[in-house]
Amino acid sequence: MFKDILILILLMGSGFFFLVGTIGLIRMPDAFCRMHATTKSDTLGAGLALVAMALYKGLHPATLKLFVILVFIWMTTPTAAHIMAKAAYYYEKRQQVK
């Protein structure tokens, strides 16, 4: 019973952060703010969802795979956002020179 409630709370938190990230994507004024809003919220939302799935599965080989996916998301999402922001900054800077 406690495990089910904890899983439900994690999934609701995940949905909340995905919703906040989507609203941030729509409402923010420029590319840098949009990237910040979506990467932070989506990383946390995906993390909560994967932890909820791991708790649901229990001690199972799939749980290890879920945690590997979680670490991969935590490493790649901020890195990709940083590279995209850097490219957008240089593109914007180059447009101002012309």
**pLDDT tens string 28-41:** 998 888 888 889 89
CB 63 within 8 Å of CB 57: yes
Q: Is the pLDDT of residue 48 over 90?
A: yes
Residue with the bigger pLDDT between 97 and 35: it is 35
Mean pLDDT score across all residues of the chain: 92
* Rounded average pLDDT over 2-24: 95
pLDDT band (50, 70, 90) for residue 95: confident
Provide CB contacts within 8 A for 58, sequence distance 6+. Answer: none
Contacts of 32 (CB under 8 A, 6+ apart): 85, 88, 89
Q: How far apart are CA 81 and CA 75, in angstroms?
A: 11
Give mean pLDDT, residues 67-94.
91
pLDDT(98) > 70: no
| Structural contact between residues 56 and 7, judged by C-beta atoms closer than 8 angstroms | yes
Rounded to the nearest 5°, which phi and psi values hold at 78? -65, -35
pLDDT at 73 exceeding the cut of 90: yes
pLDDT at 2: 93
